[in-house]
Amino acid sequence: MTTAKRIDGKAKAEQLAESITEQTASLLSQHGITPGLAVVIIGEDPASQVYVRNKKRRAESCGFYSVQHTLPVDVSQRDVLKLIDDLNLDDAVHGILVQLPLPDHLDEQTITQSIAPTKDVDGFHFINIGKLTAGHTADAFVPCTPAGCMLMIEDELGPDLSGKNAVIIGRSNIVGKPMASLLMQRHATITVAHSRTRDLPQVVRNADIVVAAVGRPNMVKADWVKPGAVIIDVGINRIEQKIDGETKSRLTGDVDYDDVCTVAGAVTPVPGGVGPMTITMLMFNTLRSARLSAGLEG
């Protein structure tokens, strides 16, 4: 029985973070610029608190200027937009991130679109989405999760994916759609599957590359997978299971990792796969924004 290679996203993220730290030090010594990342968090959602803490820690370890704005859960939309407007005008801030999800009374689209495209390091602004879709990414920001996935796929298969079939399970604006654009730019043949796709297992069986981003625990099984395929698991699902009579919760992906490892060529684990890469790509985008603002890229 074959066992797939475990794609170590944590190690890859650390390697990339070292390079970002070196480039940040060089940007400061040569041009007097420190990349600045501002994170806006609204309310007390525990998962969001963890994500923001991890982002702040990573930003500081890379040598960035890092600032966090924590707003009350009942903050008005006007006050959020005013803060973003101030950050758009702040020359010390190169990246602005509003932690999602937002409380129900706030309009996510209005808020994310109010961030200046040149500081939209999440890659959610329609201008950045349009540039990515058109293949003009020299001065655009690619959403962090798909960008991180792409680097891991390239490590396994190289930059030219001509002749490869890729199936993306999930059509979200944050992962599925930008992932399709990135894979097309590398000449892969793309299928975007979703909840209404007929005979999903059969569709996935044709894929040399599978990106699972649907939010259903352990959905992708070994008998869905083409032998030797590269599987990127974007799912983060918390499930409860009984261990020694105790109910404990653990994280799992959209892919049944142990099962799929018997068939696939390489698989990302959850945790330790895509997650660490997402945060590091946020730093990559912030550094790029600082360089672009100084006319050093683009």
Please write the tens of the pLDDT for every residue from 143-192.
999 999 999 999 999 999 999 999 999 999 999 999 999 999 999 999 99
Q: Are 33 and 62 in contact (CB under 8 A)?
A: no
Residues 207 and 165: beta-carbon distance below 8 Å: yes
The answer to the question of residue 135 being in a domain is no
Residue 217 predicted with pLDDT over 60: yes
Residue 149 and residue 103 in one domain: no
Nearby residues of 118 by Cβ (< 8 Å), 6 or more positions away:
289, 292, 293
Look at residues 116, 135, 163 and tell me which one is the last residue of a structural domain.
116
pLDDT band at 1 (very low <50, low <70, confident <90, very high): low
CATH number at residue 75: 3.40.50.10860
pTM over 0.85: yes
Tell me: do 201 and 257 sit in the same domain: yes
**Residues forming a β-bridge with 69:** 40
Average pLDDT value for residue range 74-89: 98
pLDDT single digits (tens) 36-56: 999 999 998 888 888 899 999
Whether 148 and 260 share a structural domain:
yes
pLDDT of residue 240: 81
Q: Identify the band that residue 35 occupies on the pLDDT scale cut at 50, 70 and 90.
A: very high
Instruction: Give a yes or no: residue 25 inside a domain.
Output: no
pLDDT higher for 137 or 284? 284
Q: How many domains does the chain have?
A: 2
Q: Give the alpha-carbon dihedral of 22, 27, 32, 34, to 10 degrees.
A: -70
Q: CA 128, CA 120: separation in Å to the nearest integer?
A: 8
| 230 assigned to some structural domain | yes
Asked if residue 85 is part of any domain, the answer here is yes
- The predicted pLDDT at position 248 comes to 80
Mean pLDDT calculated for residue range 205-218:
96
Residue 293 lies in a domain: no
Say if residue 227 is preceded by a cis peptide, omega within 30 of 0.
no
Catalytic residues: 55, 99, 122
Co-location of 148 and 208 in the same domain: yes
CATH number at residue 181: 3.40.50.720
Q: What is the mean pLDDT of residues 244-266?
A: 91
Residue 268 inside a domain? The answer is yes
Query: Where in the chain does DSSP place strands (E)?
Result: 5-6, 36-42, 65-71, 95-98, 165-169, 189-193, 209-212, 230-233, 237-243, 246-252, 266-267
pLDDT at 247 (0 to 100): 78
**Does 83 lie in the same domain as 192?**
no
154 and 254 share one domain: yes
Q: Would 175 be classed as within a structural domain?
A: yes
- Decide if 289 is inside a domain: no
* pLDDT surpassing 60 at residue 298: no
CA distance 48 to 38: 15
- Tell me: do 90 and 202 sit in the same domain: no
Q: Which domain holds residue 220?
A: 144-275
